[in-house]
């Protein structure tokens, strides 16, 4: 076997031929139908392969393999040297094994088209699925084994877009092919009759008539020489002869199984099986690898949270591989008494199969449970009887050492009746070191075997499949509420099955079920019909684990109960420690040091209730966290905390609020991002049911800060409003803490573009702070600075400058020139100077802010990167586009730590779009502006000023692309929003007016164009002052655009007047060496000669 290897540079080459016995690396494999210009072995060796159409399939396979982590892959067209008849025969004989041993099989369907999901919309599946059903791939002979042999099969459209897997599409594949679902899920082919397997190929075709028989060699696990030219009938006759020989050999082997006949019929008495088993292929393959026959004992331990389906995985494994073992024996291992009864039942089964085994007969007749254990172990220990599989199910309460034994005894003495006694199951294993053992357990402590953790289902399609099967409702994949329900239940099979059986028995929609789940969880679970395939309900499944936890470590149990008031993910030591002084004694002791905390959590991990974060992410000063499944969290809320504990809720709110870092702290965003889900959970409690006591209003303020910093402005406003109301009520309207709440609300209104409201609350805060703290207090000056921000956004630039100058003078005097508050004002002055067209002064301010922020906060702090971004805007204004692009790229690379949809990230994305636009890179400009627009509409809303900025820019992109109607729609939407929010004469409004003028000009509508240009010019002139006349960059853009329009319209005198009037302004803004000043001067000279 030879493979293809794709190197890091993307080059693809053939490997050497791997001979028998040599180690073959992991590889992926391609399945497809042959077309024109396929790349053959010789094409690759002589270097001409890349010129053929078929090379795209090879490139696709290599790139997909790389994405899945494999360097090597196999493609039938070019990995076999078909000029060598010996090599061809050998490879065809081994083809089934090639596909079976591949890590992944990619099916490339050249006749099925699908666009990327984001471009395809919600109904994409309905568009490609008819073509999928009719695909030529399902009609070809060789693709039959390529479908069945690999464990993992993924289907792709001709564009390389993933359509689904053999598992997710199995119902459709069954409809197309008639191949039973069990076979598609990995059941042994030996379970299927010979005639049924023959039927699978009847309607399939092959190019060479003999191949219809040869393509079945792997399906029947037989070998025979390939004799092309013998004809189809002769080939099938020889195939049938080989099948008959093989069947006789198998029958003979079975009759002699285990050197004397220890074979027992397959039965799993008392064990319910899911009729439509879903997913878990990776775990089943892992189990098969561990438990496959070998000279020694093979032991696998499936462990995981209750409800993950451990028992069902064990049942499915036993069903699929029952023919691999002489006997499959199932034991209920929930406690020692139950296990002994299982041994007696097993002894009865053995006696029924082998009535001459005297010691088994004696044990059965005596009804002595200990004797039954000894007898069955003795039978299993026989050296020739080495082909069995023992399954010990629900071994959830292990005793693994003397310490465990003593602890379990104390637990029993404390708890009394009703508690399951722990025991050491190793005493119930056969003594001989052969055979296979499979154990299922909730405990993660069992180490005597290969551990197979069972976690939540990875793909939402698998969750939807369980909902479909258990509810009896089809096409749930098209129901958005079903998708939401599947995501809410987060891949927990028991929860999904429980929901499905409820929906099966009740005329309830998925949307209604979600409401019941959120509001009436306990009643919903108690009224849900029982599930045959699970021995416990969702309501009760974790009760046993919780009882064991409580007996083992009371602190662990109380921590689990407290967890109901935090989010279910990422609870960590330092977060809880923030509330140490406010917590009860057990909490204070647990948060005293991290060893105490980890000891408590470790017990929860042992019982599968909690998982540790084992990611490679590093935190500078914080430890890694722990998470519980969302369904377990719902159980802690509705069962462990049926009566809401307001003290615990306020403790959680205190922990989260106390942990919120200020934006000036190093890497504040890392902690804030870990906190955001907990903050959201706390805010929901506050809004729904938890009333804070006097003195706790600060928590509202801190939660508001968290949401504002993370761009969740609506949540921030809700917290700030409550904080203000609480402080006005308890402290009065003029208290400094109340004024701080007023100030924060003003910043929020500013971020949301509600400028009039922002101005009003800032004026209130300023008036109150000047009275309470004095005009030169840093808090007063902070409000002065922010009021300058409002004036700037309102276009009142002179008033803004006065505010900034006052703030800078006072803050610099009080805190020093390098303090973060001083640098914030310096940065704001830079923005103002840029808006005024004073680009040199703006650049100087930004450089000062940048230099000091890098020194004080570090080069990667978000405040530093904000200045980098602003400096990029100055470079853009100056026409230094390469430098602007470098600044924006640096800013974006760093600022994305806040998240791809954070407002600050989107600001930089928007600005990069500007640079690409002016560089003529229109496709990249469109992509950036599209991303910025989608993000801003989602985070800030459709009428936010930032959203309107992006609409304006996207209009310009469309204009330059010649998409004039789309451009006009964007401009009108932006203009309407800007006029409403800012007024008709604001800088931003006039920018869009000017852009509409250019659009109308391009559109051949000169009268409308002139009206727009003239309106913009008059608006800019209104802003002029004698001190700084007409030097805004946008105003000069308008002058230049208007003048060009006039020249094109033959209005030379008007154009000359415009250039003459504003030539000095171009010089003041850009300087005499700048290209724009030179261009205007040349135009003016040219017009003067006209």
Q: pLDDT averaged over the chain?
A: 88
CA nearest neighbour of 888 among 902, 903, 874 = 874
Residues 57 and 38: their CA atoms lie apart, in Å, by: 9
The token pair at 183 is 């076979």
Q: Please name the residues in contact with 65: beta carbons below 8 A apart, sequence gap of 6 or more.
A: 6, 27, 28, 71, 72, 73, 104, 106
- 319 vs 251, more confident: 319
Phi, psi of 302 (to 5 degrees): -90, 120
- 557 vs 403, more confident: 557
Band of residue 126 on the pLDDT scale cut at 50, 70, 90: low
**pLDDT digit string (tens) for 209-261?**
999 999 999 999 888 988 999 999 999 999 999 998 887 766 554 454 443 47
Share of the chain above pLDDT 90, in %: 58
The continuous run of DSSP H or E covering 667 comes out as none
Q: Over range 467-486, report the average pLDDT.
A: 87
pLDDT given for residue 435 in this prediction: 93
Residue 533, pLDDT > 80, answer no
Give the bridge partners for 331, in sequence order. 392
pLDDT given for residue 908 in this prediction: 94
CA nearest neighbour of 745 among 713, 792, 698, 782 = 713
| 1058-1078 exposure pattern, b = at least 16 Cβ within 10 A, e = fewer | bbeebbebbbbbbeeebebbe
- CB-based contacts of 408-414 (< 8 A; 24+ apart in sequence): 411/548, 411/551, 411/552, 414/551
Q: Where are the beta strands (DSSP E) in 144-193?
A: 153-156, 162-165
With 0-12 / 13-18 / 19 or more C-beta atoms within 10 angstroms meaning exposed / middle / buried, residue 1027 is: exposed
**pLDDT digit string (tens) for 881-935?**
999 999 999 999 999 888 888 888 999 999 999 999 989 999 999 999 999 999 9
The continuous run of DSSP H or E covering 453 comes out as strand 450-453
pLDDT given for residue 122 in this prediction: 43
Residues 1080 and 801: their CA atoms lie apart, in Å, by: 30
Residues 791 and 784: their CA atoms lie apart, in Å, by: 11
Give the bridge partners for 175, in sequence order. none
pLDDT-wise least confident of 374-383, 399-408, 766-775, 915-924? 399-408
Residue 1024, pLDDT > 80, answer no
CA nearest neighbour of 485 among 505, 506, 509 = 509
The answer to whether the CB of 517 falls within 8 A of the CB of 524 is yes
Band of residue 529 on the pLDDT scale cut at 50, 70, 90: confident
Q: Tokens 């690396």 — which residue?
A: 25
pLDDT given for residue 259 in this prediction: 38
Band of residue 1068 on the pLDDT scale cut at 50, 70, 90: confident
User: From the centroid of its chain, how far is CA 171?
Assistant: 26
In 773-861, alpha helices (H): 778-794, 797-815, 820-835, 839-856
**pLDDT digit string (tens) for 589-639?**
999 999 999 999 999 998 889 998 876 567 767 899 999 999 999 999 998
pLDDT given for residue 1028 in this prediction: 43
Residue 121, pLDDT > 60, answer no
The continuous run of DSSP H or E covering 300 comes out as strand 298-303
The token pair at 1027 is 């001190």
**How long is the chain?**
1090
The answer to whether the CB of 824 falls within 8 A of the CB of 664 is no
The token pair at 872 is 């990029």
In 563-695, alpha helices (H): 573-577, 585-590, 594-606, 630-635, 646-659, 668-688
From residue 770, alpha-carbon distances to 464, 710, 737, 775, 782 in Å are 61, 30, 14, 5, 11
CA nearest neighbour of 29 among 9, 2, 51 = 2
| 633-663 exposure pattern, b = at least 16 Cβ within 10 A, e = fewer | bbbbbbbbbeeeeeebbbbbbbbbbbbbbeb
Residues 1075 and 121: their CA atoms lie apart, in Å, by: 46
The answer to whether the CB of 139 falls within 8 A of the CB of 203 is yes
pLDDT given for residue 574 in this prediction: 96
The answer to whether the CB of 80 falls within 8 A of the CB of 91 is yes
The token pair at 638 is 């509705």
What would the DSSP string read from start to end of 486-532?
A: HHHHTT-HHHHHHHHHHHHHS---HHHHHHHHHH-HHHHHHTSPP-T
Q: What single DSSP character describes residue 179?
A: -
The token pair at 355 is 């009535």
Q: Please name the residues in contact with 962: beta carbons below 8 A apart, sequence gap of 6 or more.
A: none
State the Rg of the chain over Cα.
37
Residues 84 and 1038: their CA atoms lie apart, in Å, by: 75
Residue 577, pLDDT > 50, answer yes
Highest mean predicted confidence (pLDDT) among 111-125, 197-211, 1028-1042: 197-211
Residue 708, pLDDT > 50, answer yes
The answer to whether the CB of 723 falls within 8 A of the CB of 704 is yes
What would the DSSP string read from start to end of 625-638?
A: -EE--HHHHHHIII
Residues 33 and 53: their CA atoms lie apart, in Å, by: 14
Torsion region of 416: left, alpha or beta (phi above 0 gives left; psi -120 to 50 gives alpha): left
Q: Over range 830-859, report the average pLDDT.
A: 91
Q: Please name the residues in contact with 894: beta carbons below 8 A apart, sequence gap of 6 or more.
A: 859, 860, 862, 864, 865, 868
Q: Over range 720-730, report the average pLDDT.
A: 93
The token pair at 34 is 């042959």
pLDDT-wise least confident of 109-118, 238-247, 361-370, 526-535? 526-535
How many Å is the maximal CA-CA distance in the chain?
124
Residues 1045 and 946: their CA atoms lie apart, in Å, by: 29
With 0-12 / 13-18 / 19 or more C-beta atoms within 10 angstroms meaning exposed / middle / buried, residue 632 is: buried
pLDDT given for residue 476 in this prediction: 85
Q: Over range 504-511, report the average pLDDT.
A: 89
- 664 vs 756, more confident: 756
- The 3-class SS string of 63-115 reads HHHHHCCCCEEECHHHHCCCCCHHHHHHHHHHHHHHHHHCCEEEEECCCCCCC
pLDDT given for residue 475 in this prediction: 78
pLDDT-wise least confident of 114-123, 487-496, 951-960? 114-123
The answer to whether the CB of 287 falls within 8 A of the CB of 151 is no
pLDDT-wise least confident of 213-217, 269-273, 441-445? 269-273
- Angle, helices 594-606 vs 543-552, to 10°: value is 140
The answer to whether the CB of 65 falls within 8 A of the CB of 28 is yes
Q: Please name the residues in contact with 619: beta carbons below 8 A apart, sequence gap of 6 or more.
A: 670
Q: Over range 849-867, report the average pLDDT.
A: 91
Q: In what order do the strands lie in the sheet with 12-14?
A: 12-14, 4-6, 72-74, 27-31, 104-108, 153-156, 162-165
Residues 73 and 154: their CA atoms lie apart, in Å, by: 14
Band of residue 204 on the pLDDT scale cut at 50, 70, 90: very high
Q: Over range 448-475, report the average pLDDT.
A: 88
Strand, coil or helix: 329: strand
Share of the chain above pLDDT 70, in %: 93
pLDDT given for residue 444 in this prediction: 85
């Amino acid at each position: 076997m030879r493979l293809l290897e794709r190197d890091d540079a993307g080059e693809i080459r053939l490997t050497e031929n791997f001979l028998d016995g040599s180690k073959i690396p992991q590889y992926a494999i391609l399945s497809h139908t042959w077309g024109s210009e396929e790349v053959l072995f010789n094409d690759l060796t002589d270097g001409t392969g890349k010129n053929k159409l078929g090379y795209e399939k090879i490139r696709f396979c290599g790139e997909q393999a790389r994405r899945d982590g494999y360097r090597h892959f196999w493609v039938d067209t070019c990995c076999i040297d078909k000029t060598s008849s010996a090599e061809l025969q050998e490879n065809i004989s081994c083809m089934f094994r090639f596909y079976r041993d591949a890590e992944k099989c990619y099916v490339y369907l050249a006749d099925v088209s699908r666009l990327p999901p984001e471009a395809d919309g919600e109904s994409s599946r309905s568009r490609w699925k008819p073509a999928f059903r009719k695909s030529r791939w399902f009609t070809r002979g060789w693709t039959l084994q390529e479908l069945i042999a690999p464990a993992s099969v993924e289907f792709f459209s001709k564009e390389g877009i993933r359509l689904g897997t053999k598992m997710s599409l199995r119902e459709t594949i069954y409809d197309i092919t008639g191949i039973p679902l069990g076979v598609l899920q990995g059941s042994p082919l030996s379970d299927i009759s010979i005639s049924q397997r023959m039927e699978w190929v009847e309607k399939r075709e092959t190019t060479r008539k003999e191949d219809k028989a040869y393509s079945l060699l792997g399906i029947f696990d037989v070998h025979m020489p390939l004799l092309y030219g013998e004809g189809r009938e002769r080939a099938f006759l020889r195939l049938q002869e080989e099948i008959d020989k093989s069947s006789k050999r198998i029958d003979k082997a079975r009759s002699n199984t285990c050197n004397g006949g220890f074979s027992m019929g397959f039965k799993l008495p008392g064990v319910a099986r899911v009729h439509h088993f879903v997913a878990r292929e990776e775990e089943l393959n892992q189990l098969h690898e561990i438990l496959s026959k070998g000279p020694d004992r093979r032991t696998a331990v499936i462990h995981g949270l209750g409800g993950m389906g451990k028992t069902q995985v064990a049942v499915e494994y036993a069903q699929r591989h029952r023919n691999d073992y002489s006997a499959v024996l199932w034991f209920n291992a929930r406690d020692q008494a139950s296990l002994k009864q299982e041994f007696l039942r097993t002894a009865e089964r053995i006696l029924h199969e082998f009535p001459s085994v005297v010691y088994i007969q004696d044990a059965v007749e005596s009804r002595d449970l200990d004797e039954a254990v000894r007898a069955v172990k003795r039978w299993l220990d026989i050296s020739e009887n080495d082909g069995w599989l023992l399954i010990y199910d629900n071994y959830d309460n292990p005793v693994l050492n003397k310490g465990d034994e003593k602890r379990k005894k104390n637990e029993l003495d404390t708890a009394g009746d009703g508690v399951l006694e722990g025991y050491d199951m190793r005493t119930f294993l056969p003594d001989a070191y052969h055979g296979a053992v499979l154990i299922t357990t909730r405990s993660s402590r069992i180490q005597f075997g290969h551990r197979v953790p069972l976690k939540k289902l990875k793909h939402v399609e698998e969750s939807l499949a369980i909902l479909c099967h258990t509810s009896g409702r089809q096409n749930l994949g098209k129901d958005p509420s079903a998708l939401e329900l599947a995501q809410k239940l987060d891949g927990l099979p028991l929860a999904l099955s429980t929901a499905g059986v409820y929906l099966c028995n009740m005329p309830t929609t998925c949307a209604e079920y979600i409401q019941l789940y959120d509001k009436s969880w306990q009643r919903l679970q108690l009224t849900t019909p029982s599930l045959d395939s699970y021995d416990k309900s969702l309501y009760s499944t974790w009760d046993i684990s919780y009882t064991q936890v409580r007996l083992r470590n009371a602190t662990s149990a109380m921590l689990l109960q407290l967890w109901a008031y935090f989010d279910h993910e990422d609870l960590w030591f330092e977060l809880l420690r923030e509330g140490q002084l406010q917590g009860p004694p057990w909490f204070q002791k647990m948060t005293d040091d991290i060893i105490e905390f980890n000891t408590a959590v470790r017990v929860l991990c042992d019982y599968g209730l909690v998982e540790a974060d084992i990611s490679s992410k590093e935190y500078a000063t914080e430890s890694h966290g722990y998470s519980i499944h969302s369904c377990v969290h719902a159980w802690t809320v509705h069962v462990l905390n049926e009566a809401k504990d307001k003290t615990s809720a306020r403790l959680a709110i205190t922990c989260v609020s106390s942990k919120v870092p200020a934006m000036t702290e190093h890497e504040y965003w890392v902690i804030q991002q870990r906190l955001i889900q907990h903050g959201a959970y706390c805010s929901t409690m506050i809004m729904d049911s938890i009333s804070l006591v006097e003195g706790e209003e600060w928590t509202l303020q801190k939660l508001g800060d968290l949401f504002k910093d993370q761009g969740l402005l609506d949540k921030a406003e809700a917290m700030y409003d409550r904080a203000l109301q609480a402080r006005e009520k308890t402290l009065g309207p003029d208290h400094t803490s109340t004024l701080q709440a007023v100030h924060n609300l003003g910043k929020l209104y500013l971020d949301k573009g509600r400028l009039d409201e922002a101005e009003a609350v800032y004026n209130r805060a300023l008036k109150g702070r000047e009275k309470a703290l004095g005009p030169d207090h840093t808090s007063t000056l902070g409000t002065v600075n922010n009021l300058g921000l409002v004036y700037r956004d309102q276009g009142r630039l002179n008033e803004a400058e006065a505010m900034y100058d006052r703030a800078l003078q006072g803050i610099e005097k009080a805190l020093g020139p390098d303090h973060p508050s001083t640098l914030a004002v310096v940065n704001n002055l830079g923005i103002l100077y840029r808006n005024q067209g004073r680009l040199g002064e703006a650049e100087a301010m930004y450089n000062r802010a940048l230099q000091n922020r890098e020194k004080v906060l570090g080069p990667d702090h978000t405040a530093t990167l904000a200045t980098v971004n602003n400096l990029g805007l100055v470079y853009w204004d100056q026409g230094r586009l390469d430098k602007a692009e470098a600044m924006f790229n640096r800013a974006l690379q760093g600022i994305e730590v806040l998240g791809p949809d954070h407002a600050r990230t989107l600001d930089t994305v928007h600005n990069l779009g500007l640079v690409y636009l002016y560089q003529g890179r229109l496709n990249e400009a469109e992509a950036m502006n599209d991303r910025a627009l989608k993000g801003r509409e989602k985070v800030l809303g459709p009428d936010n000023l930032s959203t309107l900025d992006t609409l304006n820019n996207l209009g310009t992109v469309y204009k330059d692309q010649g998409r004039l109607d789309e451009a006009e729609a964007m401009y009108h939407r932006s203009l309407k929003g800007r006029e409403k929010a800012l007024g008709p004469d604001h800088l931003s409004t006039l920018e869009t007016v000017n852009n509409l003028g250019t659009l109308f000009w391009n559109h051949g509508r000169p009268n409308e164009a002139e009206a727009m240009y003239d309106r913009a010019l008059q608006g800019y002139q209104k802003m002029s002052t004698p001190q700084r006349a007409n030097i805004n960059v946008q105003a000069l853009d308008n002058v230049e655009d208007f003048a060009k329009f006039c020249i094109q319209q033959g209005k030379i005198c008007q154009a000359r007047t415009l250039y003459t009037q504003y030539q000095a302004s171009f010089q003041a803004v850009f300087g005499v060496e700048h290209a724009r000043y030179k261009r205007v001067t040349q135009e003016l000279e040219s017009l003067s000669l006209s």
